[in-house]
Structure 1
Amino acid sequence: MEKTAIQDFVIASLSGSASTSQQAMLQEWLSASNSNRSLYSEIKRIWETAGNTPFGVFNTNEGLEMLMQQVQPVSHNRWWLKVAAILLPLFVITGWYFYYSSTSHWNTYIASGVLKDSLLLPDGSLVYLKPGTALHYKRREVILGNGEAFFRIVKDEKQEFRIKAGNAVIHVLGTSFNVKRTPAGADVIIWDGKVSLEGKSNTVTLTRGKMGIVDQYTGEVSGIEGNYEYRCGWANNDLAFNNQALGIVLEELSALYHIQLKVMDPAILKRNVTIRFREIPLAVALAILSETMDLTISNVTDTTYILTERK
Protein backbone atom coordinates (compact mmCIF):
# COMPACT_ATOMS: atom_id res chain seq x y z
CA MET A 1 0.00 0.00 0.00
CA GLU A 2 1.33 3.47 -0.89
CA LYS A 3 2.73 5.65 1.90
CA THR A 4 0.55 8.60 0.94
CA ALA A 5 -2.59 6.46 1.10
CA ILE A 6 -1.67 5.23 4.60
CA GLN A 7 -0.93 8.80 5.64
CA ASP A 8 -4.29 10.00 4.35
CA PHE A 9 -6.51 7.41 6.00
CA VAL A 10 -4.60 7.42 9.31
CA ILE A 11 -4.86 11.20 9.68
CA ALA A 12 -8.47 11.21 8.45
CA SER A 13 -9.36 8.55 11.03
CA LEU A 14 -7.68 10.37 13.90
CA SER A 15 -9.28 13.70 12.96
CA GLY A 16 -12.76 12.15 12.60
CA SER A 17 -13.12 13.03 8.92
CA ALA A 18 -12.50 9.62 7.31
CA SER A 19 -14.72 8.66 4.40
CA THR A 20 -16.25 5.20 4.00
CA SER A 21 -13.46 4.14 1.63
CA GLN A 22 -10.77 5.49 3.98
CA GLN A 23 -12.32 3.59 6.90
CA ALA A 24 -12.24 0.40 4.82
CA MET A 25 -8.59 0.98 3.90
CA LEU A 26 -7.73 1.54 7.55
CA GLN A 27 -9.38 -1.73 8.57
CA GLU A 28 -7.53 -3.59 5.82
CA TRP A 29 -4.20 -2.11 6.98
CA LEU A 30 -4.93 -2.94 10.63
CA SER A 31 -5.82 -6.51 9.71
CA ALA A 32 -2.53 -6.99 7.87
CA SER A 33 -0.36 -7.37 11.00
CA ASN A 34 -0.14 -7.04 14.76
CA SER A 35 2.58 -4.41 14.34
CA ASN A 36 0.21 -2.20 12.33
CA ARG A 37 -2.41 -2.46 15.05
CA SER A 38 0.10 -1.75 17.81
CA LEU A 39 1.50 1.18 15.86
CA TYR A 40 -1.95 2.66 15.26
CA SER A 41 -2.87 2.33 18.95
CA GLU A 42 0.25 4.22 19.96
CA ILE A 43 -0.27 6.87 17.29
CA LYS A 44 -3.87 7.36 18.44
CA ARG A 45 -2.79 7.71 22.08
CA ILE A 46 -0.18 10.33 21.21
CA TRP A 47 -2.56 12.14 18.84
CA GLU A 48 -5.19 12.47 21.55
CA THR A 49 -2.71 13.82 24.09
CA ALA A 50 -1.09 16.13 21.55
CA GLY A 51 -4.33 17.88 20.63
CA ASN A 52 -3.81 20.51 23.35
CA THR A 53 -0.05 20.81 22.86
CA PRO A 54 1.10 24.31 21.73
CA PHE A 55 2.79 24.33 18.38
CA GLY A 56 4.79 26.71 16.25
CA VAL A 57 5.84 26.53 12.62
CA PHE A 58 6.11 23.07 11.08
CA ASN A 59 7.74 21.84 7.90
CA THR A 60 4.83 19.97 6.33
CA ASN A 61 6.74 18.01 3.71
CA GLU A 62 9.50 17.02 6.10
CA GLY A 63 7.01 16.01 8.77
CA LEU A 64 4.99 13.86 6.39
CA GLU A 65 8.12 12.17 5.05
CA MET A 66 9.34 11.44 8.57
CA LEU A 67 5.99 9.91 9.48
CA MET A 68 5.76 7.72 6.40
CA GLN A 69 9.27 6.36 6.92
CA GLN A 70 7.86 4.61 9.96
CA VAL A 71 5.35 2.42 8.09
CA GLN A 72 7.95 0.25 6.33
CA PRO A 73 7.74 -3.51 7.11
CA VAL A 74 9.72 -4.56 10.19
CA SER A 75 10.02 -7.78 12.13
CA HIS A 76 7.32 -8.46 14.74
CA ASN A 77 9.79 -8.61 17.59
CA ARG A 78 11.00 -5.07 16.86
CA TRP A 79 7.67 -3.26 16.52
CA TRP A 80 8.46 -1.25 19.62
CA LEU A 81 11.37 0.37 17.78
CA LYS A 82 8.88 1.62 15.23
CA VAL A 83 6.72 3.10 17.98
CA ALA A 84 9.73 4.78 19.57
CA ALA A 85 10.87 6.13 16.22
CA ILE A 86 7.47 7.64 15.48
CA LEU A 87 7.17 9.72 18.66
CA LEU A 88 9.01 12.79 17.37
CA PRO A 89 7.62 12.81 13.82
CA LEU A 90 4.11 12.22 15.13
CA PHE A 91 4.26 15.39 17.19
CA VAL A 92 5.43 17.16 14.05
CA ILE A 93 2.56 15.78 11.98
CA THR A 94 0.03 16.45 14.74
CA GLY A 95 1.12 20.06 14.94
CA TRP A 96 1.05 20.29 11.16
CA TYR A 97 -2.49 18.96 11.07
CA PHE A 98 -3.89 21.40 13.63
CA TYR A 99 -2.02 24.32 12.06
CA TYR A 100 -3.06 23.38 8.54
CA SER A 101 -6.70 22.77 9.44
CA SER A 102 -6.89 26.13 11.21
CA THR A 103 -5.53 28.04 8.23
CA SER A 104 -6.70 26.15 5.14
CA HIS A 105 -9.57 23.81 6.04
CA TRP A 106 -13.08 24.90 6.90
CA ASN A 107 -14.23 23.95 10.40
CA THR A 108 -17.86 23.77 11.53
CA TYR A 109 -19.24 24.85 14.90
CA ILE A 110 -22.83 24.73 16.19
CA ALA A 111 -23.55 26.74 19.32
CA SER A 112 -24.99 24.96 22.34
CA GLY A 113 -25.96 26.11 25.83
CA VAL A 114 -29.06 27.82 27.15
CA LEU A 115 -28.04 31.48 27.07
CA LYS A 116 -25.08 31.78 24.71
CA ASP A 117 -21.97 29.98 23.56
CA SER A 118 -18.51 31.23 22.63
CA LEU A 119 -15.79 30.21 20.21
CA LEU A 120 -12.16 31.31 19.92
CA LEU A 121 -11.17 31.49 16.26
CA PRO A 122 -7.69 30.48 14.99
CA ASP A 123 -6.51 34.10 14.70
CA GLY A 124 -7.52 34.91 18.30
CA SER A 125 -10.82 36.60 17.45
CA LEU A 126 -13.74 35.77 19.75
CA VAL A 127 -17.31 34.95 18.74
CA TYR A 128 -20.39 34.77 20.98
CA LEU A 129 -23.25 32.77 19.50
CA LYS A 130 -26.89 32.30 20.37
CA PRO A 131 -27.86 28.62 20.85
CA GLY A 132 -28.33 26.76 17.58
CA THR A 133 -26.31 29.21 15.50
CA ALA A 134 -23.95 27.45 13.08
CA LEU A 135 -20.84 28.78 11.40
CA HIS A 136 -18.01 27.54 9.20
CA TYR A 137 -14.64 29.12 9.77
CA LYS A 138 -10.93 29.20 9.12
CA ARG A 139 -8.25 31.70 10.09
CA ARG A 140 -9.71 35.03 8.92
CA GLU A 141 -12.94 33.96 7.25
CA VAL A 142 -16.39 32.90 8.50
CA ILE A 143 -19.60 31.73 6.85
CA LEU A 144 -22.59 32.28 9.15
CA GLY A 145 -25.69 30.10 8.92
CA ASN A 146 -29.10 31.17 10.21
CA GLY A 147 -28.72 32.54 13.72
CA GLU A 148 -26.99 35.38 15.54
CA ALA A 149 -23.38 36.00 16.52
CA PHE A 150 -21.34 38.80 18.06
CA PHE A 151 -17.74 39.14 16.84
CA ARG A 152 -14.70 40.66 18.56
CA ILE A 153 -12.15 40.71 15.75
CA VAL A 154 -8.43 40.88 16.41
CA LYS A 155 -6.86 43.69 14.39
CA ASP A 156 -4.58 42.65 11.55
CA GLU A 157 -3.80 45.45 9.10
CA LYS A 158 -2.17 42.99 6.69
CA GLN A 159 -5.21 40.74 6.37
CA GLU A 160 -8.86 41.70 6.63
CA PHE A 161 -11.45 39.51 8.33
CA ARG A 162 -14.30 38.40 6.08
CA ILE A 163 -17.75 37.13 7.07
CA LYS A 164 -20.36 35.85 4.63
CA ALA A 165 -24.01 35.63 5.68
CA GLY A 166 -26.23 34.81 2.73
CA ASN A 167 -25.86 37.65 0.23
CA ALA A 168 -24.08 39.80 2.82
CA VAL A 169 -20.28 40.03 2.89
CA ILE A 170 -18.70 41.88 5.83
CA HIS A 171 -15.13 43.18 5.55
CA VAL A 172 -13.29 44.24 8.73
CA LEU A 173 -9.76 44.82 10.03
CA GLY A 174 -10.48 44.91 13.75
CA THR A 175 -13.74 45.81 15.48
CA SER A 176 -16.75 44.44 17.38
CA PHE A 177 -20.18 43.94 15.83
CA ASN A 178 -23.31 41.81 15.77
CA VAL A 179 -24.58 39.78 12.81
CA LYS A 180 -28.02 38.22 12.58
CA ARG A 181 -29.01 36.02 9.65
CA THR A 182 -32.54 34.87 8.85
CA PRO A 183 -34.10 33.38 5.69
CA ALA A 184 -35.08 36.93 4.71
CA GLY A 185 -31.57 38.36 4.90
CA ALA A 186 -28.94 39.60 7.32
CA ASP A 187 -28.40 42.65 9.51
CA VAL A 188 -25.16 44.00 10.95
CA ILE A 189 -24.82 46.34 13.93
CA ILE A 190 -21.54 47.95 15.01
CA TRP A 191 -20.47 48.06 18.67
CA ASP A 192 -17.16 49.81 17.97
CA GLY A 193 -14.96 50.58 14.98
CA LYS A 194 -16.37 50.31 11.49
CA VAL A 195 -17.04 47.67 8.83
CA SER A 196 -17.77 47.54 5.13
CA LEU A 197 -21.05 45.75 4.35
CA GLU A 198 -21.22 44.49 0.79
CA GLY A 199 -24.23 43.18 -1.14
CA LYS A 200 -24.67 42.12 -4.75
CA SER A 201 -24.69 45.62 -6.22
CA ASN A 202 -23.71 48.14 -3.52
CA THR A 203 -21.62 48.60 -0.38
CA VAL A 204 -22.27 50.58 2.82
CA THR A 205 -19.76 51.62 5.50
CA LEU A 206 -21.12 51.27 9.04
CA THR A 207 -19.83 52.97 12.19
CA ARG A 208 -20.64 52.64 15.90
CA GLY A 209 -24.31 52.09 16.64
CA LYS A 210 -25.33 51.94 12.99
CA MET A 211 -27.20 49.07 11.34
CA GLY A 212 -27.05 47.74 7.81
CA ILE A 213 -29.46 45.26 6.24
CA VAL A 214 -28.90 43.01 3.21
CA ASP A 215 -31.98 41.60 1.50
CA GLN A 216 -31.55 37.88 0.80
CA TYR A 217 -33.53 38.01 -2.45
CA THR A 218 -32.26 41.20 -4.08
CA GLY A 219 -28.86 41.40 -2.41
CA GLU A 220 -29.39 45.15 -1.87
CA VAL A 221 -27.70 46.82 1.12
CA SER A 222 -29.54 49.48 3.15
CA GLY A 223 -28.16 51.64 5.96
CA ILE A 224 -30.73 52.19 8.74
CA GLU A 225 -30.80 55.47 10.66
CA GLY A 226 -30.69 55.37 14.45
CA ASN A 227 -28.58 53.94 17.26
CA TYR A 228 -28.82 50.17 17.59
CA GLU A 229 -26.02 49.45 20.08
CA TYR A 230 -28.53 47.79 22.39
CA ARG A 231 -28.81 44.90 19.92
CA CYS A 232 -25.27 43.87 20.94
CA GLY A 233 -26.13 43.72 24.65
CA TRP A 234 -27.01 40.01 24.74
CA ALA A 235 -23.37 39.12 24.05
CA ASN A 236 -21.48 41.56 26.28
CA ASN A 237 -24.11 42.08 29.01
CA ASP A 238 -24.19 45.79 28.25
CA LEU A 239 -27.57 47.18 27.18
CA ALA A 240 -27.38 50.88 26.32
CA PHE A 241 -30.46 52.80 25.12
CA ASN A 242 -30.41 56.37 23.86
CA ASN A 243 -33.86 57.92 23.67
CA GLN A 244 -35.45 54.55 22.85
CA ALA A 245 -39.08 53.55 23.31
CA LEU A 246 -39.76 51.67 26.53
CA GLY A 247 -41.24 48.84 24.47
CA ILE A 248 -37.83 48.17 22.90
CA VAL A 249 -36.12 48.36 26.31
CA LEU A 250 -38.49 45.79 27.79
CA GLU A 251 -38.07 43.49 24.79
CA GLU A 252 -34.27 43.51 25.08
CA LEU A 253 -34.31 43.10 28.87
CA SER A 254 -36.68 40.15 28.55
CA ALA A 255 -34.37 38.46 26.07
CA LEU A 256 -31.23 39.11 28.11
CA TYR A 257 -32.60 37.85 31.44
CA HIS A 258 -35.00 35.25 29.97
CA ILE A 259 -38.08 36.71 31.62
CA GLN A 260 -41.39 38.28 30.57
CA LEU A 261 -42.02 41.97 31.22
CA LYS A 262 -45.64 42.97 30.70
CA VAL A 263 -47.51 46.25 31.09
CA MET A 264 -51.08 46.99 32.15
CA ASP A 265 -51.27 50.12 29.99
CA PRO A 266 -49.80 49.74 26.46
CA ALA A 267 -49.47 53.52 26.20
CA ILE A 268 -46.37 53.54 28.42
CA LEU A 269 -44.52 51.41 25.88
CA LYS A 270 -44.20 54.49 23.67
CA ARG A 271 -42.43 56.56 26.33
CA ASN A 272 -38.78 57.19 25.45
CA VAL A 273 -35.91 56.63 27.85
CA THR A 274 -32.12 56.90 27.96
CA ILE A 275 -30.80 54.17 30.23
CA ARG A 276 -28.00 51.61 30.53
CA PHE A 277 -27.77 48.16 32.12
CA ARG A 278 -24.17 47.01 32.33
CA GLU A 279 -23.29 43.64 33.86
CA ILE A 280 -25.83 43.84 36.67
CA PRO A 281 -28.19 41.22 38.12
CA LEU A 282 -31.87 41.22 37.24
CA ALA A 283 -33.00 42.66 40.60
CA VAL A 284 -30.76 45.71 40.16
CA ALA A 285 -31.83 46.18 36.53
CA LEU A 286 -35.50 46.17 37.54
CA ALA A 287 -34.84 48.62 40.38
CA ILE A 288 -33.09 51.04 37.99
CA LEU A 289 -35.92 50.73 35.48
CA SER A 290 -38.52 51.29 38.19
CA GLU A 291 -36.93 54.49 39.50
CA THR A 292 -36.05 55.90 36.07
CA MET A 293 -39.52 55.40 34.61
CA ASP A 294 -41.50 55.87 37.84
CA LEU A 295 -43.00 52.39 37.60
CA THR A 296 -44.13 49.74 40.05
CA ILE A 297 -42.85 46.30 39.07
CA SER A 298 -44.66 43.30 40.52
CA ASN A 299 -43.36 39.73 40.36
CA VAL A 300 -46.31 37.44 39.53
CA THR A 301 -44.28 34.27 38.77
CA ASP A 302 -40.61 33.32 38.84
CA THR A 303 -40.15 34.71 35.34
CA THR A 304 -43.08 37.08 34.79
CA TYR A 305 -43.28 40.73 35.90
CA ILE A 306 -46.06 43.30 35.55
CA LEU A 307 -45.22 47.01 35.16
CA THR A 308 -47.70 49.71 36.18
CA GLU A 309 -47.40 53.49 36.52
CA ARG A 310 -47.10 54.81 40.05
CA LYS A 311 -49.96 56.90 41.30
Structure 2
Amino acid sequence: MHDAHLPRYVSAQSLEDAGQWLLDLQTHPERFEDFDRWLHSDDEHFEAWARVNRVWDTVGKQPATTKRHWPRRTRLPLLAAACVSAMAVCAALVLSPGWRADYSTSTAQTREVILSDGSRLTLAPQSAVNVSFNDRQREVMLVQGEVFFEVVHDARKPFEVRSEDAVIRVLGTAFDVARRSSGLSVEVRDGTVGVNGQYRLAAGQRVWIDRQSGLGTQSAVTPTEVAGWVNGSQFFENASVAQVVEQLDRYQPGWIVIQDPALANKRVTGLYDMRDTQRALQALVAPIGGEVRQYSALLTVIGSKKPTAEK
Protein backbone atom coordinates (compact mmCIF):
# COMPACT_ATOMS: atom_id res chain seq x y z
CA MET A 1 0.00 0.00 0.00
CA HIS A 2 1.27 3.44 -0.89
CA ASP A 3 1.83 5.56 2.20
CA ALA A 4 2.39 8.93 0.54
CA HIS A 5 -0.64 10.40 2.29
CA LEU A 6 0.23 9.15 5.77
CA PRO A 7 1.12 11.93 8.22
CA ARG A 8 4.83 12.70 8.29
CA TYR A 9 6.51 12.37 11.68
CA VAL A 10 7.41 15.72 13.20
CA SER A 11 9.40 16.00 16.40
CA ALA A 12 8.20 18.06 19.33
CA GLN A 13 11.36 20.16 18.98
CA SER A 14 10.54 21.08 15.39
CA LEU A 15 6.99 22.03 16.36
CA GLU A 16 8.31 24.13 19.23
CA ASP A 17 10.82 25.83 16.92
CA ALA A 18 8.12 26.57 14.34
CA GLY A 19 5.89 28.09 17.00
CA GLN A 20 8.76 30.20 18.28
CA TRP A 21 9.46 31.47 14.76
CA LEU A 22 5.86 32.67 14.54
CA LEU A 23 6.58 34.81 17.58
CA ASP A 24 10.05 35.96 16.62
CA LEU A 25 9.06 37.16 13.16
CA GLN A 26 6.40 39.41 14.67
CA THR A 27 8.78 41.19 17.05
CA HIS A 28 12.04 40.75 15.11
CA PRO A 29 11.24 40.94 11.37
CA GLU A 30 14.94 41.40 10.63
CA ARG A 31 15.34 37.69 11.44
CA PHE A 32 13.39 36.61 8.37
CA GLU A 33 16.53 35.40 6.55
CA ASP A 34 17.42 33.27 9.60
CA PHE A 35 13.92 31.81 9.54
CA ASP A 36 14.27 31.05 5.83
CA ARG A 37 17.50 29.15 6.44
CA TRP A 38 15.90 27.19 9.28
CA LEU A 39 12.90 26.30 7.13
CA HIS A 40 15.02 24.97 4.26
CA SER A 41 17.51 23.13 6.46
CA ASP A 42 15.26 20.09 6.97
CA ASP A 43 12.14 18.72 5.27
CA GLU A 44 10.67 18.16 8.73
CA HIS A 45 10.72 21.93 9.29
CA PHE A 46 8.36 22.45 6.36
CA GLU A 47 5.88 20.01 7.88
CA ALA A 48 6.22 21.61 11.33
CA TRP A 49 5.65 25.06 9.86
CA ALA A 50 2.56 23.83 7.99
CA ARG A 51 1.08 22.25 11.13
CA VAL A 52 1.67 25.36 13.22
CA ASN A 53 -0.07 27.42 10.54
CA ARG A 54 -3.03 25.03 10.49
CA VAL A 55 -3.43 25.23 14.27
CA TRP A 56 -3.37 29.02 14.18
CA ASP A 57 -5.86 29.07 11.31
CA THR A 58 -8.22 26.71 13.17
CA VAL A 59 -8.20 28.93 16.25
CA GLY A 60 -8.80 31.99 14.09
CA LYS A 61 -11.95 30.48 12.58
CA GLN A 62 -13.73 30.18 15.93
CA PRO A 63 -16.78 32.44 15.83
CA ALA A 64 -16.66 35.57 17.97
CA THR A 65 -19.34 36.08 20.61
CA THR A 66 -19.82 38.58 23.41
CA LYS A 67 -17.54 36.41 25.54
CA ARG A 68 -14.91 35.33 23.01
CA HIS A 69 -12.34 37.28 21.06
CA TRP A 70 -9.42 36.60 18.78
CA PRO A 71 -6.18 36.68 20.85
CA ARG A 72 -4.27 39.95 20.67
CA ARG A 73 -0.61 40.10 19.72
CA THR A 74 0.22 40.73 23.38
CA ARG A 75 -0.82 37.12 24.02
CA LEU A 76 1.44 35.58 21.40
CA PRO A 77 3.57 33.57 23.88
CA LEU A 78 0.44 31.61 24.80
CA LEU A 79 -0.32 31.02 21.16
CA ALA A 80 3.12 29.60 20.51
CA ALA A 81 2.40 26.93 23.07
CA ALA A 82 -0.89 26.30 21.31
CA CYS A 83 1.02 24.82 18.43
CA VAL A 84 1.86 21.83 20.63
CA SER A 85 -0.84 22.05 23.30
CA ALA A 86 -4.58 22.62 22.89
CA MET A 87 -4.75 23.70 26.52
CA ALA A 88 -2.56 26.69 25.75
CA VAL A 89 -5.02 27.75 23.05
CA CYS A 90 -7.76 27.82 25.66
CA ALA A 91 -5.56 29.88 27.97
CA ALA A 92 -4.87 32.40 25.22
CA LEU A 93 -8.58 32.82 24.58
CA VAL A 94 -9.47 33.19 28.26
CA LEU A 95 -6.78 35.82 28.88
CA SER A 96 -7.60 37.85 25.78
CA PRO A 97 -8.91 41.37 26.59
CA GLY A 98 -12.09 40.68 24.63
CA TRP A 99 -12.91 37.49 26.52
CA ARG A 100 -15.02 39.28 29.12
CA ALA A 101 -16.07 42.23 26.98
CA ASP A 102 -19.75 42.94 26.44
CA TYR A 103 -19.23 43.16 22.68
CA SER A 104 -16.24 42.14 20.58
CA THR A 105 -15.13 41.19 17.09
CA SER A 106 -12.57 38.79 15.66
CA THR A 107 -10.15 39.12 12.77
CA ALA A 108 -11.74 40.62 9.62
CA GLN A 109 -15.13 40.87 11.37
CA THR A 110 -17.13 44.07 11.92
CA ARG A 111 -20.19 44.24 14.13
CA GLU A 112 -23.06 46.68 14.62
CA VAL A 113 -24.57 47.08 18.08
CA ILE A 114 -27.70 49.07 19.00
CA LEU A 115 -27.60 50.24 22.62
CA SER A 116 -30.64 50.65 24.88
CA ASP A 117 -30.83 54.41 24.21
CA GLY A 118 -30.82 53.87 20.44
CA SER A 119 -27.17 54.82 19.95
CA ARG A 120 -25.33 52.73 17.38
CA LEU A 121 -21.82 51.30 17.66
CA THR A 122 -19.92 49.75 14.76
CA LEU A 123 -16.93 47.73 15.90
CA ALA A 124 -13.92 47.31 13.62
CA PRO A 125 -12.07 43.96 13.49
CA GLN A 126 -10.31 42.87 16.69
CA SER A 127 -12.20 45.38 18.83
CA ALA A 128 -13.93 45.10 22.20
CA VAL A 129 -16.08 47.37 24.40
CA ASN A 130 -17.88 47.31 27.73
CA VAL A 131 -21.12 49.28 28.18
CA SER A 132 -22.42 50.84 31.41
CA PHE A 133 -25.65 52.88 31.48
CA ASN A 134 -27.38 54.32 34.56
CA ASP A 135 -29.81 57.11 35.44
CA ARG A 136 -27.14 59.82 35.20
CA GLN A 137 -24.83 58.93 32.34
CA ARG A 138 -24.02 56.61 29.47
CA GLU A 139 -20.51 55.14 29.37
CA VAL A 140 -18.63 52.90 26.95
CA MET A 141 -15.17 51.55 27.76
CA LEU A 142 -13.05 50.95 24.65
CA VAL A 143 -11.05 47.88 25.65
CA GLN A 144 -9.21 47.58 22.35
CA GLY A 145 -9.49 48.34 18.66
CA GLU A 146 -11.66 50.90 16.90
CA VAL A 147 -15.35 51.87 17.07
CA PHE A 148 -17.55 54.28 15.13
CA PHE A 149 -20.15 55.88 17.41
CA GLU A 150 -23.49 57.35 16.33
CA VAL A 151 -24.86 58.77 19.56
CA VAL A 152 -28.49 59.68 20.17
CA HIS A 153 -28.80 63.16 21.71
CA ASP A 154 -29.82 63.30 25.39
CA ALA A 155 -28.96 66.51 27.26
CA ARG A 156 -29.76 64.86 30.61
CA LYS A 157 -27.34 61.97 30.12
CA PRO A 158 -23.90 62.73 28.69
CA PHE A 159 -22.30 59.98 26.64
CA GLU A 160 -18.69 59.14 27.53
CA VAL A 161 -16.14 56.92 25.81
CA ARG A 162 -13.22 55.95 28.01
CA SER A 163 -9.88 54.30 27.32
CA GLU A 164 -6.51 54.30 29.01
CA ASP A 165 -5.52 57.30 26.86
CA ALA A 166 -8.57 59.57 26.94
CA VAL A 167 -12.06 60.43 28.10
CA ILE A 168 -14.35 61.53 25.26
CA ARG A 169 -17.56 63.32 26.19
CA VAL A 170 -20.50 64.07 23.88
CA LEU A 171 -24.25 64.67 23.94
CA GLY A 172 -25.17 63.49 20.47
CA THR A 173 -22.81 63.11 17.51
CA ALA A 174 -21.05 60.73 15.12
CA PHE A 175 -17.35 60.08 15.65
CA ASP A 176 -14.65 57.43 15.42
CA VAL A 177 -12.27 56.36 18.21
CA ALA A 178 -9.28 54.12 17.51
CA ARG A 179 -6.72 52.71 19.93
CA ARG A 180 -3.38 52.16 18.22
CA SER A 181 -0.15 50.72 19.58
CA SER A 182 1.32 54.23 19.94
CA GLY A 183 -1.75 56.25 20.92
CA LEU A 184 -5.38 57.08 20.30
CA SER A 185 -7.18 58.99 17.54
CA VAL A 186 -10.59 60.68 17.57
CA GLU A 187 -12.23 61.83 14.32
CA VAL A 188 -15.57 63.65 14.13
CA ARG A 189 -18.08 63.24 11.32
CA ASP A 190 -21.00 65.22 12.85
CA GLY A 191 -21.58 67.32 15.96
CA THR A 192 -19.05 68.28 18.64
CA VAL A 193 -16.78 66.13 20.79
CA GLY A 194 -14.74 66.97 23.90
CA VAL A 195 -11.54 65.04 24.55
CA ASN A 196 -9.82 65.01 27.96
CA GLY A 197 -11.36 68.38 28.79
CA GLN A 198 -8.66 70.00 26.62
CA TYR A 199 -9.77 69.55 23.02
CA ARG A 200 -13.09 70.48 21.47
CA LEU A 201 -13.57 68.94 18.05
CA ALA A 202 -16.19 69.88 15.47
CA ALA A 203 -17.15 67.97 12.34
CA GLY A 204 -14.11 67.57 10.09
CA GLN A 205 -11.58 67.68 12.92
CA ARG A 206 -9.47 65.04 14.60
CA VAL A 207 -6.94 64.72 17.41
CA TRP A 208 -4.13 62.26 17.94
CA ILE A 209 -3.12 61.55 21.57
CA ASP A 210 0.43 60.20 21.74
CA ARG A 211 0.64 57.44 24.35
CA GLN A 212 4.22 58.11 25.38
CA SER A 213 4.05 61.90 25.77
CA GLY A 214 0.32 62.31 26.39
CA LEU A 215 0.32 65.26 23.99
CA GLY A 216 -2.43 65.83 21.44
CA THR A 217 -2.10 66.97 17.83
CA GLN A 218 -5.14 68.39 16.03
CA SER A 219 -5.69 68.35 12.27
CA ALA A 220 -8.43 68.41 9.66
CA VAL A 221 -10.18 65.43 8.11
CA THR A 222 -12.84 65.20 5.42
CA PRO A 223 -16.04 64.25 7.30
CA THR A 224 -17.07 61.68 4.71
CA GLU A 225 -13.72 59.90 5.20
CA VAL A 226 -14.29 59.38 8.93
CA ALA A 227 -14.69 55.64 9.63
CA GLY A 228 -14.46 54.78 5.95
CA TRP A 229 -13.55 51.25 7.03
CA VAL A 230 -17.25 50.68 7.81
CA ASN A 231 -17.80 50.48 4.03
CA GLY A 232 -14.63 48.47 3.39
CA SER A 233 -12.07 51.13 2.47
CA GLN A 234 -9.93 53.44 4.59
CA PHE A 235 -8.13 56.64 3.64
CA PHE A 236 -4.74 57.38 5.20
CA GLU A 237 -3.10 60.79 4.95
CA ASN A 238 0.64 61.16 5.63
CA ALA A 239 0.63 57.94 7.63
CA SER A 240 3.63 55.69 8.09
CA VAL A 241 3.69 52.32 6.35
CA ALA A 242 3.75 50.74 9.82
CA GLN A 243 0.52 52.53 10.78
CA VAL A 244 -1.28 51.32 7.66
CA VAL A 245 0.00 47.78 8.14
CA GLU A 246 -1.18 47.81 11.75
CA GLN A 247 -4.70 48.44 10.47
CA LEU A 248 -4.53 45.88 7.67
CA ASP A 249 -3.22 43.33 10.17
CA ARG A 250 -6.67 43.32 11.78
CA TYR A 251 -8.24 42.11 8.55
CA GLN A 252 -6.36 38.85 8.09
CA PRO A 253 -5.24 36.01 10.38
CA GLY A 254 -1.61 35.57 11.29
CA TRP A 255 1.04 38.24 10.82
CA ILE A 256 2.16 40.94 8.47
CA VAL A 257 5.86 41.47 9.17
CA ILE A 258 7.78 44.53 7.96
CA GLN A 259 11.34 43.35 7.45
CA ASP A 260 12.89 46.74 6.66
CA PRO A 261 12.60 49.42 9.43
CA ALA A 262 13.33 52.21 6.93
CA LEU A 263 10.39 51.07 4.81
CA ALA A 264 8.15 50.93 7.91
CA ASN A 265 8.80 54.63 8.59
CA LYS A 266 8.06 55.91 5.09
CA ARG A 267 5.00 58.16 4.80
CA VAL A 268 2.12 57.43 2.45
CA THR A 269 -1.26 58.86 1.48
CA GLY A 270 -3.89 56.72 -0.15
CA LEU A 271 -7.19 54.85 -0.08
CA TYR A 272 -6.87 51.13 0.61
CA ASP A 273 -9.37 48.28 0.38
CA MET A 274 -9.38 46.64 3.81
CA ARG A 275 -11.31 43.65 2.45
CA ASP A 276 -8.40 42.57 0.21
CA THR A 277 -5.30 42.89 2.37
CA GLN A 278 -2.86 41.39 -0.13
CA ARG A 279 -3.94 43.78 -2.85
CA ALA A 280 -3.86 46.69 -0.40
CA LEU A 281 -0.33 45.78 0.70
CA GLN A 282 0.85 45.70 -2.91
CA ALA A 283 -0.68 49.12 -3.53
CA LEU A 284 0.89 50.40 -0.31
CA VAL A 285 4.53 49.41 -0.81
CA ALA A 286 5.09 48.98 -4.55
CA PRO A 287 5.23 52.76 -5.28
CA ILE A 288 7.90 53.25 -2.58
CA GLY A 289 10.22 50.43 -3.59
CA GLY A 290 8.80 47.63 -1.46
CA GLU A 291 7.63 44.13 -2.24
CA VAL A 292 5.21 41.71 -0.62
CA ARG A 293 5.99 38.02 -0.11
CA GLN A 294 3.24 35.76 1.21
CA TYR A 295 5.16 32.96 2.88
CA SER A 296 2.02 31.14 3.98
CA ALA A 297 -1.64 31.92 4.53
CA LEU A 298 -0.63 33.22 7.95
CA LEU A 299 2.66 34.99 7.24
CA THR A 300 3.17 37.93 4.90
CA VAL A 301 6.56 39.62 4.78
CA ILE A 302 7.14 43.15 3.48
CA GLY A 303 10.64 44.21 2.51
CA SER A 304 12.55 46.48 0.18
CA LYS A 305 12.64 45.26 -3.36
CA LYS A 306 15.98 43.67 -4.17
CA PRO A 307 17.75 45.00 -7.27
CA THR A 308 17.65 42.70 -10.28
CA ALA A 309 21.05 41.27 -11.07
CA GLU A 310 22.36 42.31 -14.45
CA LYS A 311 23.13 39.54 -16.90
Higher relative contact order (CA 8 A, sep 6+): 2
Q: Counting helix residues as a fraction of each chain, which structure ranks higher?
A: 1
